[in-house]
Chains A and B, each alone.
Chain A
Amino acid sequence: MSETPSTSKSENRSRPFRLQIEPRLSQPPGWFPAIVSVGAVVIALIIGGVLIAVAGGDPLRSYIHIAKASFGNIGVLSDAIVKATPILLTSLACCIAFRMRLWNIGAEGQFIMGAFGASAVVLIPLLPGDASPWLFIPAMMLAGMVAGAIWGMIPGLLKAHLNVNEIISTLMMNYIAISWINFFVFAVWSEGGFQMTRKFAQNAWLPRLLDYSKEIPLFRGLTTHMGLLIGILAAVILWFIIYRSRWGYEIRLIGDNPRAAQYAGINIKRNIVLVMMVSGALAGLGGMSEVSGVVHRLQTSPLAAGYGFTGIIVAWLAKLNPLVAILVSILFGALILAGREIQPSGVPKMIQGIILVCLIASDFLLRYRIHFVHAEKED
């Protein structure tokens, strides 16, 4: 970009000033991208408000409701964090894949397959029903990650060796995953003909804060579960991998300049498959955390709730930084939590879409400077 001569677009000559747009030659200061992102979200909320008003709602009350319903007291804050946990893990899945410009849109399906893998440990069963939770939880985590990794590996192999567009293939894998678990939920593991499996025994549940309410009364009724810790730990590890390891350097180099990476002798095909597997494993871990920490059974509707897609937006808003993703996913958890009570029910989804659009548009400000040039100063 730095080689380009400055391009400019002039407004109508009769105006007293005109806009001049030129590429940035130097990096903007560190705080600038954050300000631009916050500005983009604010503008998105304003646009969303207008659309809510068009649909016959009251935007201000909707937003106040969202704020109250998600940060009003420690109970709802805990609920928001519960919603944020699966989003955090799917956004991490997107962070590493997108960093390599590998468009894994399949976190949703990998998440669902992770939930399936974890459930299989309990329902097949792969472990005796009275095994210790110290055995159950790690086994479920492993099964969830493996199932997610396999689901990510398939499009990875197709991309690396047959040059199949990963956007479409990962997306198609989402639909296949939903049919796959539907088969098991409806036919194989159905409980009494209902569209869900039996509830897991407590030794397959991730510990929740309320489990300790006897010792710490403050925790009474709080459903925040250990998945949050798993997610934060995964974010920290992922940050070190991407920004401090040799492999992370390879991933970033392939993302920024695949040709240079190839000349540097980096095996791109191998990295495509590996990154898709790690990405799938992270999303699969999210599915495990949700099924073992919240749903406690395999059931399609609460699992296929779009966490994988929200993860895409969160990753983009966090500028693909895993540590920032922790904070952003809590905000989006709050949005989704509050959204359940808002009418019309599509509002959270719409606001997510508008936020993403505004974010991409705002990237322009990071690449270009905009001046107002007064007409008098021109020749």
Chain B
Amino acid sequence: MDVQAIINILQAGVATGTVLLFATIGELFAERSGVMNLGVEGMMLIGAMSGFSVAIKTGNPWLGVLAAMIAAGLLSQVHAFITITLQGDQVVSGLALTFLGAGISLVLGEGLSKAGTVSLLSSFSVPLLSQIPLLGPIFFTDQSVMVYIGYFFIPLSWYYINRTRPGMHLRAIGEYPAAADALGINIYVLRYFYVFVGGLLAGLAGATISLAISPGWFSELTTSGQGWIAVGLVIFAQWDPLRAAFGAYTFGALRRLILDIQGPTMLLGFANPFYYNPYWGFFLQMLPYAFTIIVLVIGSREATRKRVGAPAALGIPYIRGERGH
């Protein structure tokens, strides 16, 4: 394994991490407003399925992306209705959403895996930027357009949450909804909106898989638990988009490393044990999931130490006039 191989892995890792980036920041918006949505996996599946399906039927991948976002956004509103209007339990409703999304995408995606080829979202290199040593090949060479959208998206979402007026309202309804209500902010409408934003972005993440990063529809294996990893990353990120981006790209690189490490016969000058014992691959496959748990441990410890934590009203339905939050 030489420098070029490592660059290749990181380059592919950035692409893979873009999926997690969209899903994580989407969930981050919903949780900042006080609604935890555990249905990210289901919304991503719906997005991946409908994006791929529409792209095949119309021949236009951008219509696919649009369909993916709308479909997942609509699904998210089921969760919004149950948790915001009906004040149902956010944990159980989010789980139900995962079942629902997985089930619907399996039913409507039947036969889609052999439906034929689809024109994918384009990839290109950025002039000048791709010439930067090390960073250029990793971040700006031959990446999907989705990856570049992701780059813009990180500072934008940070700026929106921390520096704009609507972003301040978003933080207010997640931290102290009663005070926000007294200021005339419509908590119900805003929570619906941010759950919808979470859905749109989960759909975008799904379409990024099925139309760009690993094209196709492979039923539940399409996402293989990335929606859940995204939910875990939000906790690790302490509800901050910049940390979320860091986590997403790191995880992307880890996933790629696991896929690629079994290829070469030599590893750092030694015989590659993963090449000669292919079954050790099963232990490699555990790593992203084990790593998610480790990341949660780090995130929780740091949160306790720094006294930062989840939005105070996370998981609590807002009932006007009720004492407490």
Interface positions of A (Cβ within 8 A of B): 3-5, 7, 51-52, 54-55, 103, 105, 158, 162-165, 167-169, 171-173, 175-176, 179-180, 182-183, 186-187, 309, 312-313, 316, 343-354, 356-357, 359-361, 363-364, 367
B243 at the interface (CB under 8 A from A): no
A134 to B38, CA, bound (A): 44
Q: What are 28 A-B pairs at a CB distance below 8 A?
A: A3-B323, A4-B322, A55-B110, A163-B304, A164-B296, A167-B231, A168-B293, A172-B292, A172-B293, A176-B289, A179-B285, A180-B282, A346-B107, A347-B107, A349-B99, A349-B102, A352-B99, A352-B103, A353-B99, A353-B100, A353-B101, A353-B103, A356-B95, A357-B82, A360-B86, A361-B82, A361-B88, A363-B86
Which 7 pairs across A and B sit closest by C-beta, in order of nearness? A346-B106, A350-B103, A353-B99, A353-B100, A187-B279, A344-B110, A356-B96
Chain B residues whose C-beta falls within 8 Å of the C-beta of A354 in the assembled complex? 100, 103
B300 at the interface (CB under 8 A from A): yes
Contact B103 A351 (CB under 8 A): yes
Contact A353 B92 (CB under 8 A): no
Chain A residues whose C-beta falls within 8 Å of the C-beta of B78 in the assembled complex? 357
Minimal beta-carbon separation of B274 from chain A (angstroms): 13
Minimal beta-carbon separation of A311 from chain B (angstroms): 12
Q: Which of B307-324 contact A (CB under 8 A)?
A: 319-323
A51-B107, A344-B107 given; A168·B235 CB < 8 A: yes
Chain B residues whose C-beta falls within 8 Å of the C-beta of A316 in the assembled complex? 92
Contact A175 B289 (CB under 8 A): yes
A4-B322, A364-B87 given; A313·B108 CB < 8 A: no
A300 to B93, CA, bound (A): 29
Query: Which residue of A is nearest B41, CB measured?
Result: A171
B136 at the interface (CB under 8 A from A): no
Minimal beta-carbon separation of B81 from chain A (angstroms): 8
A3-B323, A4-B322, A179-B285 given; A167·B110 CB < 8 A: no
B232 at the interface (CB under 8 A from A): yes
Contact B103 A349 (CB under 8 A): yes
A187 to B281, CA, bound (A): 11
The majority secondary structure among interface residues of chain B is: helix
Residue-by-residue, is B104-116 near A (CB-CB < 8 Å gives 1, otherwise 0)?
1111111100000
- Among A5, A344, A350, A364, point to the contact of B100 (Cβ < 8 A): A350
B228 at the interface (CB under 8 A from A): yes
A349 to B109, CA, bound (A): 13
Query: Which residue of A is nearest B100, CB measured?
Result: A353
A163-B300, A165-B296, A345-B106 given; A363·B88 CB < 8 A: yes
- Among A167, A313, A356, point to the contact of B38 (Cβ < 8 A): A167
A183-B279, A183-B283 given; A168·B96 CB < 8 A: no
Interface positions of B (Cβ within 8 A of A): 38, 42, 78, 81-82, 86-89, 91-93, 95-111, 219, 225, 228, 231-232, 235, 279, 282-283, 285-286, 289-290, 292-293, 296-297, 300-301, 304, 319-323
Contact A350 B86 (CB under 8 A): no
Contact B282 A183 (CB under 8 A): yes
Chain A residues whose C-beta falls within 8 Å of the C-beta of B38 in the assembled complex? 167
A3-B323, A179-B286, A363-B88 given; A350·B96 CB < 8 A: no
A316 to B92, CA, bound (A): 9
A347 to B245, CA, bound (A): 36
- Among B88, B103, B225, point to the contact of A364 (Cβ < 8 A): B88
Chain A residues whose C-beta falls within 8 Å of the C-beta of B286 in the assembled complex? 175-176, 179-180
- Among A5, A52, A179, A309, point to the contact of B107 (Cβ < 8 A): A52
Given contacts A105-B95, A162-B300, A360-B96, 9 further A-B contacts (CB under 8 A): A5-B321, A103-B91, A158-B297, A172-B232, A180-B286, A182-B285, A344-B111, A346-B110, A360-B93
A183 to B225, CA, bound (A): 19
Chain B residues whose C-beta falls within 8 Å of the C-beta of A187 in the assembled complex? 279, 282
A354 to B82, CA, bound (A): 13
Chain A residues whose C-beta falls within 8 Å of the C-beta of B88 in the assembled complex? 360-361, 363-364
Minimal beta-carbon separation of B130 from chain A (angstroms): 36
Query: Which residue of B is nearest A23, CB measured?
Result: B319
- Among B87, B92, B225, B296, point to the contact of A175 (Cβ < 8 A): B225
A167 to B95, CA, bound (A): 10
Chain A residues whose C-beta falls within 8 Å of the C-beta of B99 in the assembled complex? 309, 313, 349, 352-353, 356
A357 to B77, CA, bound (A): 12
A352 to B321, CA, bound (A): 36
Minimal beta-carbon separation of A25 from chain B (angstroms): 15
- Among B103, B297, B319, point to the contact of A7 (Cβ < 8 A): B319
Chain A residues whose C-beta falls within 8 Å of the C-beta of B232 in the assembled complex? 165, 168, 172
Contact A7 B320 (CB under 8 A): yes
- Among B93, B109, B228, B301, point to the contact of A168 (Cβ < 8 A): B228
Contact A55 B87 (CB under 8 A): no
A165-B232, A363-B88 given; A353·B110 CB < 8 A: no
Chain A residues whose C-beta falls within 8 Å of the C-beta of B91 in the assembled complex? 103, 167
Query: Which residue of B is nearest A346, CB measured?
Result: B106
Query: Which residue of A is nearest B284, CB measured?
Result: A179
Minimal beta-carbon separation of A348 from chain B (angstroms): 8
Query: Which residue of A is nearest B111, CB measured?
Result: A344
Contact B285 A361 (CB under 8 A): no
Query: Which residue of A is nearest B81, CB measured?
Result: A361
Chain A residues whose C-beta falls within 8 Å of the C-beta of B97 in the assembled complex? 353, 357
A272 to B7, CA, bound (A): 44
Chain B residues whose C-beta falls within 8 Å of the C-beta of A343 in the assembled complex? 110
